Amino acid sequence: MQGILPLNKPVGARSTLCVERIRRVIGRNVKVGHGGTLDSSASGLLILLIGGATRFSSLIMDMPKVYRAVIRLGTETDTCDYTGVPSTVSEWKCVNGGDIDGILTAFIGWRMQIPPKVSAVHVGGKRAHEILRGGGDPEIKPRPVFIESIRRTTDISEAGDFELVVKCGKGTYIRGLARDIGRSLGCGAHIASLVRERVGPFDISRAFDPGPDVSPEGNAVTASILRTEEIANFLPSYTISEEDASMLARGQPVGFSGAVRRTLGNSPPAGKVLFLSQRLLSVALLEYSGGQVRAAPEINISL
């Protein structure tokens, strides 16, 4: 058994719990991994990888993601979301929608972001949240993140809430974005709710719902597992001959003379392509040598 299982993680469930429950259903002799975790306080799309598809973990973590976040003005918390303890409380009612729209453009593109202290970022060999909960104060260095777009979709409510849709790259903390927006507005802010709606070509509308207590039934799980070839909707992909597939399986690069294009891909990482035959799926890295463009295999999965 192998494939990709887009799962709609409920609020309150740990990503590792979801992996364990699915493994329990499909059999402990089958590998189950993930393509990037999701905060327990958030809900939405968690990409689970079954069998040979676990080799796609890093590739899926690199995919762009879309989040729908409700930001609450007036309070910054130590976790940067609704589960935390307030660290600052300020008046927010002088803020209007125009003020928010005016500062959002500053967050688009590449920028440096300091992850929340309650996060899985490593500091001196330990997770930041472990240091904090042990009484320490982790010194987290800023790191580059990429935000492709931010769109405000609601007015500010009486409670100080408004909704954003954010498309971003790997490593972006939406909790950190909420904190930084609040600081830019001068009133503090935190995440009141967060849903991950999309990861690369995978959309929450096609996700399997395991229920609020993550107790899925076996037949429902297996029926929801997508074919490994679904990854071809993300990368530029080509159909190749069995002869070229054999070369890739042996770790040898191949050219494009006999390849037939299947898909153009959706925001793929630069330089990566996917080859498909009846027996093999190969993610390959483009290289230029001797006046020719060839592709060397990075991930090979038998079909």
Residue 209 burial by CB count (10 A; 0-12/13-18/19+): exposed, middle or buried?
A: middle
Q: What is the DSSP letter of 124?
A: T
Statement to judge: residues 158 and 78 lie in one domain? yes
Whole-number pLDDT of residue 257: 87
Statement to judge: residues 76 and 176 lie in one domain? yes
Statement to judge: residues 102 and 188 lie in one domain? yes
Statement to judge: residues 105 and 162 lie in one domain? yes
**pLDDT reading at 260 higher than 90:** yes
Statement to judge: residues 158 and 101 lie in one domain? yes
Residue 99 CB contacts under 8 Å (≥ 6 apart), including other chains: 185
**pLDDT reading at 115 higher than 80:** yes
Contact 193, 162 (CB under 8 A): no
Whole-number pLDDT of residue 3: 95
**pLDDT reading at 133 higher than 80:** no
Statement to judge: residues 93 and 186 lie in one domain? yes
> How far is the CA of 259 from the CAs of 230, 233, 254, 267, 273, in angstroms?
19, 17, 10, 21, 12
Tokens describing residue 87: 């660290």
Statement to judge: residues 145 and 262 lie in one domain? no
Contact 91, 99 (CB under 8 A): no
Statement to judge: residues 108 and 152 lie in one domain? yes
User: Residue 127: pLDDT band by 50, 70, 90 thresholds?
Assistant: confident
Statement to judge: residues 46 and 57 lie in one domain? yes
Mean pLDDT within 136-165: 93
DSSP string, 8-54: EEPTT--HHHHHHHHHHHH-TTS-EEESS---TT-EEEEEEEEGGGG
Mean pLDDT within 264-289: 88
Would residue 78 show up in a list of annotated catalytic residues for this protein?
no
- Render pLDDT for 157-175 as a digit per residue (tens, 0 to 9): 999 999 999 999 999 999 9
**pLDDT reading at 274 higher than 90:** yes
Contact 85, 78 (CB under 8 A): yes
Mean pLDDT within 257-272: 85
Statement to judge: residues 179 and 127 lie in one domain? yes
What is the rounded distance in angstroms from the CA atom of residue 172 to the CA atom of residue 296? 30
Which domain-ending residue is among 199, 215, 244?
199
Mean pLDDT within 185-191: 97
Statement to judge: residues 73 and 56 lie in one domain? no
Mean pLDDT within 223-232: 92
Please give the residue range of the domain that contains residue 83.
65-199
CATH number at residue 222: 3.30.2350.10
DSSP string, 77-110: ESSSBTTS-EEEE---TT--HHHHHHHHGGGSEE
Domains held by the chain: number:
3
**pLDDT reading at 183 higher than 90:** yes
Mean pLDDT within 273-296: 91
Mean pLDDT within 263-281: 87
Mean pLDDT, the chain, rounded, equals 92
- Render pLDDT for 83-112 as a digit per residue (tens, 0 to 9): 999 999 999 999 999 999 999 999 999 999
The single residue of 39, 81, 180, 244 carrying the catalytic annotation is 39
Statement to judge: residues 184 and 94 lie in one domain? yes
Of the listed ranges 46-50, 63-67, 223-227, 269-273, the one predicted with least confidence: 269-273
